[in-house]
A and B are shown apart, each in its own frame.
Chain A
Amino acid sequence: MMIVRELWREAARFPAALAWSTGLLALVFLTHAAQAVAIAWSMSAVLRGRPEDVLAALALIVGIALARTALSLVQTSAAAGLGGRVRQALRRRAMRAALVPERLHDTAARDGSMRAALGDGIDGTDAYVSKYIPAIAQVFLACPVIVAALLVLSPAAGLCVAAGIVLALLGPMAWKRMMARRGLDHWDSYEALSSDILESLRGMAALRALGDVPGTRRRLHTRSEALRRATERVMRVSLAETAVIDFAVQAGVVAAAAAALGHAAAGQGPAIEVYLILLLSSEAFRPIRDLSRHWHAGFLGLTAIPGLARIGAFAPDGGLPESGARERAAASRTPGGPADGPTGGRAEELRVSGLGFRYPGARDDVLHDLTLTARRGSLTAITGESGAGKSTLFDLVLGFLTPAAGGITLDGRPVRPDDVAVVSQRPVLFAGSIRDNLALTRPGDGPGRDPDDADLADACRSAGILDEIRRLPHGFDTEVTEAGTNLSGGQRQRLALARALLARRPVLLVDEPTSALDAARAEEVVDTLHRVARDRIVIMVSHRPETLTGAADVLRLEAGHLERSAP
């Protein structure tokens, strides 16, 4: 018996579903017990030569079996519902905790492991919540009742069965801790090997060109074998547990049978009692067997629990580690905010003065005494190598980071998060129509109105995607299929640009807008940005020099400073 507190707490948040699936499981068990009684009755009726009793008992068995069929189906559905609700709650909370500004700069965070925890990790809890928890409840509800019944029939049999149950429940606990530890170690190395193999599969072209296929294979094979031996070690501990439970079950049943034999030989009671002792003692171990089976099915899923705790899946709803995100989300859900806000209007000048920033624990400042003025009317471009601090600068402007020194002002007042629109390198699109996706940044309850078709067309024309949308079968109402897979990278990027334009924020930050585009398309997008820059302040980060031609200001970020460079 293994109690995972976090998951019990989660399951307890849905008391009705938990009670429902546990109660139904107890009812299912009751049908098993009743069937045992009916079989004992029928056999003793055969013995006593009572045909009408035999037939009645057999009819009873049929009725019970049918009832169990119905009950078990309802129970399965209830249990799946409970597991599903917990999974949903965990994922909702973990997603909320993952979508916070802090993650932008967490060097330890790897999207791959985050995805593993959010996906497989959360799904892995299902077996424990939907099967194991009700099974434990069943042990505590059903076993005492059966043991009590046996004690009445034959104290010796009752005691034997009780001893078997206790041994089966407590015996494995002796090395549960060791097993959990080994399980964790194993999971970590398993994940590491899996990602190594994946990395090799993805980089296979490079490996082949390097002639390193045999070498990589040798390395992976050695590590894979080491992992396999580790897995076997974990498995052996786990199987020893299975063996102990199996022993407790068989020994308990046999001992109870011995007691029944004594009962019969002493001629103490009618035959039905002896049959009952035999059958009920076997039934008494049914919940234990269920428990063992479900443990086996759900154990691997539990190794992700510490990882889930780390990403905040178990945090109570009140105190999520997402203070910043909440406020930000709240702030940006109501664009415009106070009436004096510039949103929808224009601003002339974004001024960055004396800006300094250093990540906690870093040796050097990422940005140091950085000064920049971006004006409406012409595109400002920033180049520099990826590590040079461009993203940091963006995050400071967006308010995701707080500067250590200096400040950022828009027309003389501090810049606010809802002054700034942004287009990522790989924008996210939602399931829904193109129209829905474009209107995202302009919720209907904002200032002005929901964007109408004219607004959409304007923005899309500016972003250079209008013609392509018009060519689609349903125009703006075409569905963006899941994950935007029916759109090319360039189309996604231009849709995101249109979406950013619709947000009508006075500042637009664009991160590598042409990285997924061919030269002709890239030129179009850059032209678009130049046009857009007439109405708002546009700052673009780009590596590709050809995108920089025509930019009034090309600034090169190097070692935390901006330098003017020749375009």
Chain B
Amino acid sequence: MSTLSALRALRGLLPALRPEWRGMLWSYLVGTASALALAALTVLTAWAVGRAVVEGEPPGPAWWTAVIGLVVLRTVLTWQEMDVSHALAYRVLARLRMALFDAYARSVPGRRREHSGRAATVAMGDIEKLEFFYAHTVAQLGASATVFLAALATATALLPEAGAVMLVGSAAVAASAFAWARTARRLGEEEQRERSALSARMVDALGALREVLAYGLAPRIVDETDAATAGAVVTTRRRELVEQLVTALRELIVTAVVIGVIAVSASAAGVLSGAGAAAPPGGAGAALSPALLPALVALAVAGVAATTEAATTLTRLHPLVAGADRVAAGINRPPVVSEPTAAREVPRGPLGLRFRQVDFAYDGREPVLASWSAELAPGEHVGLAGPSGAGKSTAVALAARLWDPAAGAVELVGADGRGVALSDLDDAGLRGAVALVDQDATLFHGTVRENLLRGSGPRPDAELAALLERVGADGWIGLDDDLGESGVRLSGGQRARLCLARALVREPRVLLVDEVTASLDPATERAISDVIADYDGTVLIASHRAQTLARCDRVIGIAAPADRDRQPGLL
């Protein structure tokens, strides 16, 4: 990745800061004041010591007041600055998390059929790592620049040569921020990749535990994890060495500045020019009193330190670039459905469903549906049959408006026979009228009641309990039972029953069912088919099972397009 695209990736992070400009400004002001207080403290101390040594004069009460005041002020300001900047960063991170959610809400499931769960995990982890960027970058760089300019101005006023040395030194320090930047970015990326590969392997091993134990593969897995960790350690060590090298380089420059300032002030004080010890220091013609030397050195160090801090911050950003890129990619995922400009209401009464000349293709693949049309009358139960990959699941997903068709339209048809395209409908209205029972039978953690009520208003418990009974779930689970993560405690059949119940809670006028009976035992399949057959509304059910299709009023066949790759399940 080039420096330019790295900068672009970081710039992509800035819009999230826009609502925080007040906090940023405050953070900048407090940070600048705090850094100036520190610089003033060291310079004042050095000045007093220099004067006491050269002229034997202790500082007066004004000095004491200033110094003690600065110590207290600096403490309070440091605390305040970190408080403001961290609170700001946490607000931004919370906002990014929600932005990621919003982006996924617009764009998942993707038409590319990628494994979005993994990308989401990575992006979530990356967001947390951006805390450094938001808490320590923009306002702090500004504060560093201000402090540097103040120190430079003061030093130049005291001794222009010293100012020149500082300027050159700071320029060198600033340039060091880009030293080995490419290597640092590459190593940061490599570290991240090794980390996620290792984590994937560990999850696999835990998932196949039975097999692992049966063949005594555990030692081999442990060895492999060990080797992967060792590899990651090498990468970490290399990244840290690069960082340390840059830091050391910077320290060398700071040292050079100190030496330079001492040398130019020694020369200005007339020490180096009069060959030997002849010239009395601070004598006639000397541009600088030696009493000011410690203060000048302290000033130079404070000024260059500000630049150093800024450069260090920039260096620490390089390994974050890859993460920033992924977060930006997550937040800017292209939406899969468009917002209607003027949303229309769902027609009243029983609804039919019409596919009109529908085209659809997954990204980068041959079209799945080409000019495909079908129509379901209100109240009709229709089966959708066809071989794997023919587009059954795609048709159901289009009817649920997970995607919009590339051409043609999917419409809800009112009693008068007039259709309204799904893409013109108000989303809440559409979701209230159309329910989907998907292949994966996705449940969420929380109680059964919470799952049943997802997306619909409150319902009396008695009604929910009756529904559980209707799908044959009343025997083994109650409304208050906790499902655990993704309903892991339940079997496929149990999950399918709950998903069906959840779809029915909303009393949809159109019920879409995708292959829900594919992996069920015959008893569950029968029970579910019974409930669907009794359902009073329009039903579209995609299945390849004869028993399921036999109970529909009518079956529509979808032929597999010739020589197309066999495709895995939809979601």
Contacts and interface: CB of A to CB of B under 8 A. Distances in A.
B549 interface: no
A50 B204 contact: no
Contacts of B109: 204-205
B217 A440 contact: yes
A265 B445 CA distance: 74
Interface residues of A, number: 150
Contact of A385 (B236, B262, B491): B491
B3 to A, nearest CB: 24
Given A246-B74, A430-B224, A400 B213 contact: yes
A390 to B, nearest CB: 10
B305 interface: no
A125 to B, nearest CB: 12
Nearest to B234: A84
Contact of A201 (B72, B87, B108): B108
Contact of A42 (B241, B262, B493): B262
Interface string A187-223: 0000000111111111111111111111111001100
B490 A387 contact: yes
A386 B488 CA distance: 10
Interface stretch (B20-28, B170-178, B361-369, B430-438): B430-438
B269 A46 contact: yes
Interface stretch (A110-118, A338-346, A351-359): A110-118
A354 B270 CA distance: 105
B388 interface: yes
Contacts of B214: 332, 398, 417, 420-422
B206 A61 contact: no
Interface in B158-203: 195, 197-203
B329 interface: no
A387 B497 CA distance: 15
A92 B213 contact: no
Contact of A80 (B76, B79, B237): B237
A544 B524 CA distance: 12
B75 A243 contact: yes
A155 interface: no
B438 A257 contact: no
A54 B293 contact: no
Nearest to A387: B491
A337 to B, nearest CB: 12
B550 interface: no
B211 A386 contact: no
Interface in B265-281: 265-266, 269-272, 274-277, 279-281
A329 B125 CA distance: 35
Interface in A543-558: 543-545
A208 B337 CA distance: 11
Contacts, number: 423
A213 B105 contact: yes
Contact of B262 (A46, A260, A400): A46
A257 B45 contact: yes
Interface in A331-374: 331-333
Given A261-B59, A543-B520, A274 B105 contact: no
Contact of A91 (B86, B120, B226): B226
B225 to A, nearest CB: 5
B221 A428 contact: yes
Interface stretch (A99-107, A134-142, A469-477): A99-107
B217 A202 contact: no
A199 B218 contact: no
B252 interface: yes
B19 interface: no
Contacts of B201: 482-483
B206 A209 contact: no
If over half of A's interface residues share one DSSP class (helix, strand or loop), that class is named, otherwise mixed; here it is helix
B255 interface: yes
A243 B78 contact: yes
B399 to A, nearest CB: 10
A161 B270 CA distance: 35
A408 B376 CA distance: 56
Interface centre among B214, B402, B485 (most CB of A within 10 A): B214
B82 to A, nearest CB: 5
B407 interface: no
Nearest to A384: B521
Nearest to B389: A518
Contacts of A112: 485
Interface centre among B117, B222, B245, B491 (most CB of A within 10 A): B222
A426 interface: yes
Contacts of A228: 90-91, 93-94
A96 interface: yes
A346 B238 CA distance: 54
B34 to A, nearest CB: 9
Nearest to B567: A518
A209 B204 contact: no
A47 B41 contact: no
Interface string A208-246: 111111111100110011011001100110011011001
A459 B52 CA distance: 91
Contacts of B519: 515, 543-544
Contacts of A212: 454-455
Given A76-B237, A100-B213, 19 more contacts: A49-B274, A84-B237, A99-B205, A115-B202, A118-B202, A199-B486, A201-B120, A204-B116, A217-B98, A254-B41, A254-B45, A261-B48, A265-B56, A275-B294, A329-B213, A388-B491, A395-B210, A421-B214, A422-B211
27 contacts: A39-B258, A84-B237, A88-B229, A91-B225, A95-B221, A99-B206, A104-B209, A112-B485, A120-B125, A194-B124, A197-B97, A201-B101, A204-B109, A205-B438, A206-B440, A217-B101, A250-B71, A253-B45, A261-B58, A271-B54, A325-B213, A328-B216, A329-B218, A330-B216, A386-B490, A483-B204, A518-B388
| Nearest 5 interchain pairs by C-beta | A211-B431, A84-B233, A386-B491, A212-B455, A210-B455
